[in-house]
């Protein structure tokens, strides 16, 4: 089994749980709810990108800087009326898992890379319901634009190359499950 297939299998229940709890219909029904969602995503990504740092992957994921979500989220929030100073003061998620090595970093980033794929299905929703576009408030959902498939494939190739041993795949899976749990709690709160 490839590393990406193993991560998919390990996180499937977490993914379904978050998808169910996220309540996309209400989060994307009004501009204020959508902006609040982006603020929460900014806080999560800020926590993650701070935790990962510049050297989390070494040479294992050479295009990591192109994958950072904070610039896209900041651009969207400014378009939606926030000023840059306010965005920088937004709360940051402190419960993102520690990434002691590239395998764990791959597990954490797997969650956001998967969310990038999901953004393709959510982009038409915000376009039709909220009148937003890639250039105006929905850059985060559009992330890599036409390159989303090739970026996912290159991520998978890098993941498979680094996590070629069972021990590394296990660390990546553990980090991905923990990242899903942190994202679920950050976005949706403690389950009732």
CATH number of the domain to which 19 belongs: 1.20.910.10
Structural domains of the chain, count: 1
Q: Is 83 exposed, middle or buried (0-12, 13-18, 19+ CB in 10 A)?
A: exposed
Domain with 52 in it = 3-188
Q: Residue 25 has what pLDDT? A: 79
Q: What residues does 133 pair with on adjacent strands?
A: 137
Q: For residue 24, how far is the Cα from the chain centroid?
A: 16
- Closest C-alpha to 123, from 136, 143, 137, 138: 138
How many CB atoms are located within 10 Å of the residue 151 CB? 18
- pLDDT tens for each residue of 7-46: 999 999 999 999 899 888 788 889 999 999 999 999 999 9
Query: Residue 82: what pLDDT?
Result: 94
Residues in the chain with pLDDT < 50?
Answer: none
pTM over 0.85, yes/no: yes
Confidence at residue 192, expressed as pLDDT on a 0 to 100 scale: 53
Q: How far apart are CA 71 and CA 97, in angstroms?
A: 22
């Amino acid at each position: 089994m490839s590393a990406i297939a193993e991560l998919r299998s390990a996180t499937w229940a977490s993914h379904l749980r978050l998808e169910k709890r996220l309540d996309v219909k209400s989060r994307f029904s009004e501009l204020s709810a959508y902006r609040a969602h982006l603020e929460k995503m900014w806080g999560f990504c800020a926590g993650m990108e701070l935790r990962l740092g510049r050297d989390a992957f070494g040479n294992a994921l050479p295009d990591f800087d192109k994958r950072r979500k904070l610039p896209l989220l900041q651009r969207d929030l400014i378009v939606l009326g926030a000023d840059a100073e306010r965005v920088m003061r937004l709360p940051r998620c402190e419960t993102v898992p520690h990434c002691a090595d590239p395998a764990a970093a791959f597990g954490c980033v797997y969650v956001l890379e998967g969310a990038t794929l999901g953004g393709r299905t959510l982009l038409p929703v915000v376009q039709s319901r909220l009148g937003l576009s890639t250039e105006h408030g929905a850059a985060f959902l559009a992330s890599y634009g036409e390159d989303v498939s090739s970026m996912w494939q290159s991520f998978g190739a890098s993941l498979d190359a680094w996590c070629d041993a069972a021990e590394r795949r296990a660390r990546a899976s553990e980090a991905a499950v923990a990242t899903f749990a942190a994202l679920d709690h950050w976005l949706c709160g403690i389950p009732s």
